[in-house]
Structure 1
Amino acid sequence: MPASKPGVESDAGSEFVEIDPTGRYGRYSEVLGKGAFKAVYRAFDEVDGLEVAWNQVNVQDLLRSPDDLERLYSEVHLLKTLKHKNIIKFYTSWVDSKRRNVNFITEIFTSGTLRQYRKKHKNVDMKAVKNWARQILRGLLYLHSHDPPIIHRDLKCDNIFVNGNYGEVKIGDLGLATILRQAHAAHSVIGTPEFMAPELYEEEYDELVDIYSFGMCVLEMVTFEYPYSECTNAAQIYKRVTSGKKPAAFEKVKDPEVRKFIEKCLAAVSRRLPARELLMDPFLRCDGERETLECIPVIRKQSRVDDMEELRSSAVTNHESDQGDSDQQRKSIDFKVKGRRREDDTIFLRLRIADPEGHIRNIHFPFDVEGDTALSVASEMVAELDLSDQDVTTIAEMIDAEILNLVPDWKPGAAFDE
């Protein structure tokens, strides 16, 4: 367990506020980045004399049992074995069971994320964009060459990092993606809707979901627009994605070669090309060069510690609301609402819809306890997803029940009470 040792000074004269269990890494209070699940701090490796990034993820509400934590530790620890020039170096990790967080040490990037870097440097030649795209694909090829494939599941420009001095691009947040994957198996919230492939909503997918996300990254790189920024809620994004409608930003791409390449990445899964084939695409060649792929063997593991079926069978079901059998008229469709309260007190919910044929849809959306009511959100969902008006009350009651579980002192909206 990491010890918090105020007063322990680094060579730079700044105090460490926490050190790892081995005493090798010291964490400063300086925050490099902060998200809903994770905080990243500047840290120092006292053995090699290097600055590193200390990633800390709170799993308080994600994984509740000791078995969940042990399985998570085993999976995150495996990331240390990943060695590739386009994957952020992962040095070590540990689970702090007392504070219920997961910590992992990675290399540090001072140029920030690809999204930040691209916004800062807008006048960049297409040659540079192609270079970044090739590097991302090489990293994906390495991950997908494992057996079973390592799937990122949350690839976006926000977790691709840049070393501006050398033009290096590396895929990051694999540790966080691993934790989110386990949370997803436990029926929690995962992914970024704007970058999620259609099949991710249906819970049956393979490594090609990363290629779809990569295509959205390329779209953002060439247009400077976040995909589906024209949508006002998650249900609208879901409807467009699952119906095959591309983001409005795609219409701003005038170069036919760029359009064609992005379309290959966003194609239906049956026609979507893997990383190896995309790397051979003529679009990515510069000045007549031909992409040469290093020989990446299939990397086999003896076992998979987070087997999806195993996790689904032992999924966490705390705070889950169900319609039950009392409503015989709507018995054919099964609705479930699951939510979590983040560290910043924002609420994210997931509506799971299962029809009689076993087809599953998952809709992820935020809920503002100050401005939203269960009825207004449910009405919006029903309208966007072409559900029956009878479902509004059912979904609203489930949202109310879930919010009350997460925020005990919350009062349901007046519109619903009336």
Structure 2
Amino acid sequence: MKVPNIGADDGDTEPFVEVDPTGRYGRYNELLGSGSVKKVYRAFDQEEGIEVAWNQVKLQKFCDDKVMIERLYSEVRLLRSLRNKNIIELYSVWQDKERNILNFITEVCTSGNLREYRKKHKHVSIKALKKWSRQILKGLEYLHNHDPCIIHRDLNCSNVFINGNIGQVKIGDLGLAAIVGKSHCARTMVGTPEFMAPELYDEDYTELIDIYSFGMCVLEMVTLELPYSECDNVAKIYKKVTMGIRPQAMNKVKDPDVKTFIEKCLAQPRVRPSASDLLKDPFFDGISDDDDDENADSNCCCDHR
């Protein structure tokens, strides 16, 4: 049922360029982000009176790629089943068959992705970085302990989103996620090269690849530098990762506790801790979601020279 626009003069309102079949959600022309697979627009939920994200995928791009189309639908199915405060929530999904477009409405994070947010705010305390890291781990713990187990497989700072006004962090973009069930093993090589664990290249891995990627996220948050940015092609990244050579960005991490924590995340799979284990790590002592102690250590944890 179409939701009426009550008490507003059409001349004073921002026009929708598109409305969903129910009339509830309206899409604005403002692009929030785009990738190789989808575009994300600012939109509005007229029933709840909140801003949302309108995700749009042109399926004709993949008309001959059944695997890619299935991956897109997989993201939607996954999102619909997940309920966790550190995972982006899905509200609605439908296919525009005339234009061959898959649309889905998700919650929107007011400050965009963590990579851009961190670049914008260069002076951040260790405490804040720990709080963000802890929330990412809580999201990963939920995915990994889900029945069946879910591996994100493409965790990086551009796939983590933030509501900067309250410091809330959420994992999004589950398009490459794999449901692996009781075996906890997957055998497809996907992801972003700088964040891919060495065993992922061998196409034989568990959910612990997300912990490795998380470690690289922490490194990027601390140094403001993309891991392996010294490499000018994927082959060089692959060589360093498989040989166990750390990114040069590790040399910028001046806090020994931060460096030790990152190294735990990047360890070999047999000794790499789980998300649940890391949440109990002394690294997070004194850090909680509602911790508003303004007297926490605010020393900078990296060298920005």
State the TM-score, normalizing by the size of structure 1: 0.60
**Aligned mates of 1:22, 1:98 — CA distance in 2:** 17
Q: 8 Å contact 2:150–2:177 — kept in the other structure?
A: no
**Aligned mates of 1:253, 1:166 — CA distance in 2:** 26
Pairing 1:92–2:100 present: no
**Aligned mates of 2:92, 2:274 — CA distance in 1:** 30
Alpha-carbon distance change, 202 to 77 in structure 1, aligned in 2, over 3 angstroms: same
Q: 8 Å contact 1:10–1:16 — kept in the other structure?
A: no
Q: 8 Å contact 1:73–1:95 — kept in the other structure?
A: no
Q: 8 Å contact 2:156–2:195 — kept in the other structure?
A: yes
Structure 2 counterpart of 1:258: 258
Q: 8 Å contact 1:55–1:105 — kept in the other structure?
A: yes
| Partner deviation per Cα, 1:42-97 (whole Å, 9 max, x = no partner) | 11112212110001123434463779756853652341221111112211222334
**Aligned mates of 1:12, 1:138 — CA distance in 2:** 43
| Partner deviation per Cα, 1:345-388 (whole Å, 9 max, x = no partner) | xxxxxxxxxxxxxxxxxxxxxxxxxxxxxxxxxxxxxxxxxxxx
Amino acid at match of 2:202: E
Structure 1 counterpart of 2:163: 163
Structure with the larger RCO, 1 or 2 (CA within 8 Å, 6+ apart): 2
Offset of 1:146 from its aligned partner? Answer: 1.1
Q: 8 Å contact 2:154–2:177 — kept in the other structure?
A: no
Structure 1 counterpart of 2:127: 127
Offset of 1:277 from its aligned partner? Answer: 0.1
Identity of aligned pairs, percent? 62
**Aligned mates of 1:266, 1:251 — CA distance in 2:** 15
Amino acid at match of 1:278: L
Structure 1 counterpart of 2:283: 283
Structure 2 counterpart of 1:177: 176
**Aligned mates of 1:128, 1:160 — CA distance in 2:** 15
**Aligned mates of 1:23, 1:268 — CA distance in 2:** 51
Alpha-carbon distance change, 96 to 77 in structure 1, aligned in 2, over 3 angstroms: farther
Q: 8 Å contact 2:75–2:176 — kept in the other structure?
A: no
**Aligned mates of 1:63, 1:131 — CA distance in 2:** 42
RMSD: 2.7
Q: 8 Å contact 2:71–2:176 — kept in the other structure?
A: no
Structure 2 counterpart of 1:320: none
**Matched length:** 273
Alpha-carbon distance change, 210 to 59 in structure 1, aligned in 2, over 3 angstroms: farther
Amino acid at match of 1:260: T
| Structure 2: tracts of 5 or more residues without a match | 1-8, 181-185, 289-305
Offset of 1:268 from its aligned partner? Answer: 1.3
Moved more, 156-165 or 229-238: 156-165
**Aligned mates of 2:10, 2:91 — CA distance in 1:** 20
Offset of 1:148 from its aligned partner? Answer: 2.2
Offset of 1:204 from its aligned partner? Answer: 1.9
**Aligned mates of 1:70, 1:236 — CA distance in 2:** 31
User: Which entry has the higher C-alpha Rg, 1 or 2?
Assistant: 1
Q: 8 Å contact 1:152–1:210 — kept in the other structure?
A: yes
Structure 1 counterpart of 2:139: 139
Alpha-carbon distance change, 195 to 62 in structure 1, aligned in 2, over 3 angstroms: farther
| Partner deviation per Cα, 1:29-54 (whole Å, 9 max, x = no partner) | 11111222221101111221211000
Moved more, 88-97 or 118-127: 88-97
**Aligned mates of 1:87, 1:71 — CA distance in 2:** 18
Q: 8 Å contact 2:24–2:47 — kept in the other structure?
A: yes
Structure 1 counterpart of 2:292: none
Amino acid at match of 2:73: Y
Structure 2 counterpart of 1:151: 151
- Equivalent residue of 2:283, what SS? helix
Alpha-carbon distance change, 10 to 140 in structure 1, aligned in 2, over 3 angstroms: farther
Offset of 1:278 from its aligned partner? Answer: 0.5
Offset of 1:284 from its aligned partner? Answer: 1.5
**Aligned mates of 2:169, 2:233 — CA distance in 1:** 31
Amino acid at match of 2:108: I
**Aligned mates of 2:259, 2:113 — CA distance in 1:** 24
Structure 1 counterpart of 2:25: 25
- Equivalent residue of 1:16, what SS? coil
State the TM-score, normalizing by the size of structure 2: 0.81
Amino acid at match of 1:232: D
**Aligned mates of 2:71, 2:115 — CA distance in 1:** 32
**Aligned mates of 2:12, 2:155 — CA distance in 1:** 35
How does 1:9-408 map onto structure 2 within 5 Å?
Answer: 13-62=13-62, 64=64, 69=69, 72-73=72-73, 76-174=76-174, 176-178=175-177, 190-286=190-286
**Aligned mates of 2:151, 2:87 — CA distance in 1:** 13
Alpha-carbon distance change, 227 to 74 in structure 1, aligned in 2, over 3 angstroms: closer
Alpha-carbon distance change, 155 to 11 in structure 1, aligned in 2, over 3 angstroms: farther
Alpha-carbon distance change, 24 to 241 in structure 1, aligned in 2, over 3 angstroms: same
Q: 8 Å contact 1:58–1:102 — kept in the other structure?
A: yes
